[in-house]
Amino acid sequence: MKHLFVLDPIEQINPAKDSSAALMQATHRACIEVWICTPSDLQARGDKAWVVTSPIIPEPWIDVGVPQSKPLTDFSCIWMRKDPPVDEAFLYATHLLEVAERDGVVILNKPASLRAWNEKLGALRFSKLMAPTLVASRVVELADFAGSQGEVVVKPLGGKGGQGVIRVAKKAPGLEALLELMTDQERLPVMMQLFLPKVIEGDKRILLVDGEPLGAVNRRPRPGDFRSNLALGGQAEATKLSVREQQICNELAPALKDQGLFFVGIDVIGGMLSEINVTSPTGIREVERLMAIPLADQVISRLLARFA
């Protein structure tokens, strides 16, 4: 059995922190061949998808073999783990992966769902679980919403890791000018949400595998910031799911399973759903370290059970 991981360049991956590294090492421990490529290595020859790919031994990190050209049907499973942004190159890669999917290859997560579930907008399917939210381009509507809520956060729809997320009060000087900048003069929509003060207590990352929560960590913002993303200095700590958080997971599970979203990371603040991360969810290493859970091995075990 062979698994292919579609990634950013391997030299950019920090094995001590990266969830993709954890998944590749768990795959190797399950006696499955691990191969890697970048999105630019994917290609189509007529109605068949191919790839220029290298075999790797990920433990100890890392032994990379000689690149080879292979049909994607040589792989029983392909993990699409390219980090955002979801740009043209990312979208074209999902279309090429769909060629292999039509030939019976399992793609995780499902290419069509990677396109359809923007990590901010996908959560709107469950808006009743979220804080009051507006997605818009028009400055007047955004400013009015900010005025009605008092204090809000504004998020670019294509951002990752908390980058570009700002917190503003309704009476902030220059609010309209700021919104003009963030919307690129009303060309691009942004997400505006009621600011949740409980974010100071943490933003919980919950990892769901085939719809079931298998691990979670709480991420506290660094002093002086409200963004809890680990890439921005947030601190991870051990946690357990509350009743409310389990209810959120239960509500999401049927849709995630139906849409082929096998490995997903959701963010919950003060009992409110914030985001549904489907492209390359992170958090495995933190769960394993803080919760003493062999999460990556559990993910691969669940996957192999599906094949069985």
Catalytic residues: 120, 155, 205, 219, 227, 267, 275, 277
Nearest partner of 76 among 22, 31, 24, 33, judged by Cα? 33
Contacts (Cβ under 8 Å, ≥6 apart) of 146: 152, 168, 169, 170, 175, 192
Residue 246 exposure: Cα atoms within 13 Å on the Cβ side = 5
The span from the CA of 171 to the CA of 33, in Å, is 57
Cα Rg of the chain, angstroms: 20
Angle at 158 between CA 274 and CA 86, to 5 degrees: 115
The span from the CA of 175 to the CA of 162, in Å, is 20
Q: Provide the 8-state DSSP code for 150.
A: S
Q: Provide the 8-state DSSP code for 45.
A: E
Q: Are 84 and 158 in contact (CB under 8 A)?
A: yes
